[in-house]
Amino acid sequence: MWLTNVKNRAASRRVRAFDRAMIRAQFASLFWAAIMEKRKHGKYPLSELAKALGRNTGEVSRWFSGNAPNWTVGTIAEVAYALDLQIRVEAVDRATGMVLTESGPKVVQPGPPT
């Protein structure tokens, strides 16, 4: 029993570490996609984002060049604001697959029959 609990705790720690890494990577990818969209419609150098955030251009560049940064919620909000983005959050219940939003379960409209 004790060994089972130890294995369960270790597995739980790995899942939580994976989840944290995935969330960081998802935000970095989301913000990079927004920057790429802005670049399609004109120049948008990272120095412009850095200036809007009051950060060093090198720091902002590192955010998007490899390991996802360990941003705080405040930093995520600042970057979203600087990129003129509204963040929407959804979560998926691992056991049921139900998609949850800030207003409750997401209702998926069925498509037309095929």
Side-by-side strand order, sheet with 99-101: 90-92, 99-101, 104-105
User: In which domain, by residue range, is 87 found?
Assistant: 25-105
Position 5 in a domain: no
39-88 pLDDT, tens digit per residue, is 999 999 999 999 999 999 999 999 999 888 889 999 999 999 999 999 99
**Cα–Cα dist 51/68, whole Å:** 20
- The model's pTM is 0.76
Tell whether 14 is covered by a domain: no
**d(C-alpha 26, C-alpha 107), whole Å:** 23
Query: Helix H segments across the chain?
Result: 2-40, 46-53, 57-63, 73-82
Residue 114 reports pLDDT greater than 80 = no
Count up the domains in the chain and report the number. Answer: 1
* CATH code, 42: 1.10.260.40
DSSP for residue 7? H
Contact 71, 80 (CB under 8 A): no
Answer whether residue 96 is part of any domain.
Answer: yes
